[in-house]
Structure 1
């Protein structure tokens, strides 16, 4: 697998510029084409308007058009400086539906974790979660807190033998092949069993030319799997966590599992997720 089309989400938040810079650097390393997808919350201020307040509505729409133009100019300038082939898209309609549709025509999606202190980072309820669960592509989510001075050099792969974990492992191969250190981590309910699941995953990577270590982490009573994985990431100074995104169906929509939702809420390093 190779990454030849990278889709990066662009909005009006204070983290958008850093996300673009990350995506451009990633695209250049993988000789990829980048698409800047501008989707923002369309209804952030509408509840404040009266039904007949068409003048203020027109003003808000004009301000929105100005913000989009500034975002386009910033993205275009950054892509040209980087020398990366690019295109811009700002589709109308539902932000989530548009993002999912465009994501299906890319190899990898780059999103940002919602920042609770930045109103402009809110696009739609469960925006990141819905894209992860429905786009059918690997997604890298960047944390809003802190910096990402390195990426993909020291990687922890969360493994439990599930379909989602297998998908994430395969989707991450181009990154893992460039990594200096890869650790396959298994949070074990019964760590003393004879055949830890992660050995086979490490063997799979070995046949792809990726030397991976293996670590079995005993499950501690009262500590969630998500917290255990994040502790492991911190302990080995990893700069990327690769994991399957787990969920279940509720009526007609996908709902995230507890571990996936917890990690998206408390992540400290970039996370590559596949469902």
Structure 2
């Protein structure tokens, strides 16, 4: 298994460099085609004092959108042209102006999506959570800090025996096969997922047959949250990638208690690979 089509979600200038760093590094490793996706919001009409649509405002908004989209396209092309990779740029105008939500038709025909971690308090973030939920394809989330990488030395798989965790584990095989070490990290085994493999032994054996150097670590939350246990383990082990089965809890559980997916999207210190 490998990644031959990679979609880069380019929402704004702040995202562009770190997303393209990751996408280009990965595409160079796997010989992949890169598709840059960006969306601008359709200008919404406002009524003037005379009761008619403010056409001047619409025109100014449309011009600003075109200028911003053209600038991002230029950044994308400047980065890709010297790489020798095949690439294309897809710009759209949608009601939301969200490059993640507007990219679904592109990502469903891709092997991997690369996106930026949300900026705390940012008002122009792409909705990566909804993209992961609806895409049907794995998403690699580049963190705020740290170098973009095409391969990872130590991968941590957050395992709870769920369907989503299983999907993520096998989607991430190209990274885990090349890693020096893969740790299957289990918190409170038996409380979630499939009782037959709540402790991770079955998935460890399956991954090992692919040549993955897999081991299992089990922890009890002891009244803390699973999210804290996962974050603490990342720091303890020095892992440089986390693999997560996204949204394996019900919406009500996530609403009341949060979840690993949300924590990873907002504050993971390392590259995150999410699939569901």
CA distance in 2, matches of 1:220, 1:190: 14
Q: What secondary structure does 1:234 align onto? A: helix
Q: How far has the Cα of 1:189 moved from its partner?
A: 4.8
Structure 2 match to 1:28: 28
Q: Assess, with a 3 A threshold, how the Cα gap between structure 1 residues 17 and 50 changes in structure 2: closer, same or farther.
A: farther
Matches within 5 A, 1:1-275: 1-40=1-40, 42=41, 51=48, 52-94=53-95, 95=98, 96-119=100-123, 121-123=124-126, 127-143=127-143, 145-148=144-147, 150=149, 152-189=152-189, 197-221=199-223, 223-246=224-247, 258-275=259-276
Q: Note the residue ranges of structure 2 that are not aligned, 5 or more in a row.
A: none
Kindly indicate whether the alpha-carbon contact (under 8 Å) linking 2:158 and 2:165 is maintained by their aligned counterparts in 1.
yes
Q: What secondary structure does 1:14 align onto? A: helix
Q: How far has the Cα of 1:92 moved from its partner?
A: 2.7
Kindly indicate whether the alpha-carbon contact (under 8 Å) linking 1:132 and 1:139 is maintained by their aligned counterparts in 2.
yes
Q: Assess, with a 3 A threshold, how the Cα gap between structure 1 residues 30 and 257 changes in structure 2: closer, same or farther.
A: farther
Q: Assess, with a 3 A threshold, how the Cα gap between structure 1 residues 220 and 269 changes in structure 2: closer, same or farther.
A: same
Kindly indicate whether the alpha-carbon contact (under 8 Å) linking 2:118 and 2:265 is maintained by their aligned counterparts in 1.
no
Q: How far has the Cα of 1:249 moved from its partner?
A: 7.1
Per-residue CA deviations over 1:222-255 (Å, capped at 9, x if unaligned) read x2111111111111111110010125677xxx98
Q: TM-score, normalised by structure 2?
A: 0.85
Q: How far has the Cα of 1:13 moved from its partner?
A: 3.4
CA distance in 1, matches of 2:30, 2:15: 23
Q: What secondary structure does 1:88 align onto? A: strand
Q: Assess, with a 3 A threshold, how the Cα gap between structure 1 residues 55 and 209 changes in structure 2: closer, same or farther.
A: same
Q: Assess, with a 3 A threshold, how the Cα gap between structure 1 residues 249 and 224 changes in structure 2: closer, same or farther.
A: closer
Alignment root-mean-square deviation, CA? 2.9
CA distance in 2, matches of 1:200, 1:67: 50
CA distance in 1, matches of 2:258, 2:34: 30
CA distance in 2, matches of 1:194, 1:163: 13
Kindly indicate whether the alpha-carbon contact (under 8 Å) linking 1:153 and 1:180 is maintained by their aligned counterparts in 2.
yes
Kindly indicate whether the alpha-carbon contact (under 8 Å) linking 1:38 and 1:91 is maintained by their aligned counterparts in 2.
yes
Kindly indicate whether the alpha-carbon contact (under 8 Å) linking 2:161 and 2:197 is maintained by their aligned counterparts in 1.
no
Q: What secondary structure does 1:90 align onto? A: strand
Q: TM-score, normalised by structure 1?
A: 0.86
Kindly indicate whether the alpha-carbon contact (under 8 Å) linking 2:162 and 2:248 is maintained by their aligned counterparts in 1.
no
Kindly indicate whether the alpha-carbon contact (under 8 Å) linking 1:4 and 1:33 is maintained by their aligned counterparts in 2.
yes
Kindly indicate whether the alpha-carbon contact (under 8 Å) linking 2:160 and 2:189 is maintained by their aligned counterparts in 1.
no
CA distance in 2, matches of 1:178, 1:109: 19
Q: What secondary structure does 2:157 align onto? A: strand
Q: Note the residue ranges of structure 1 that are not aligned, 5 or more in a row.
A: none
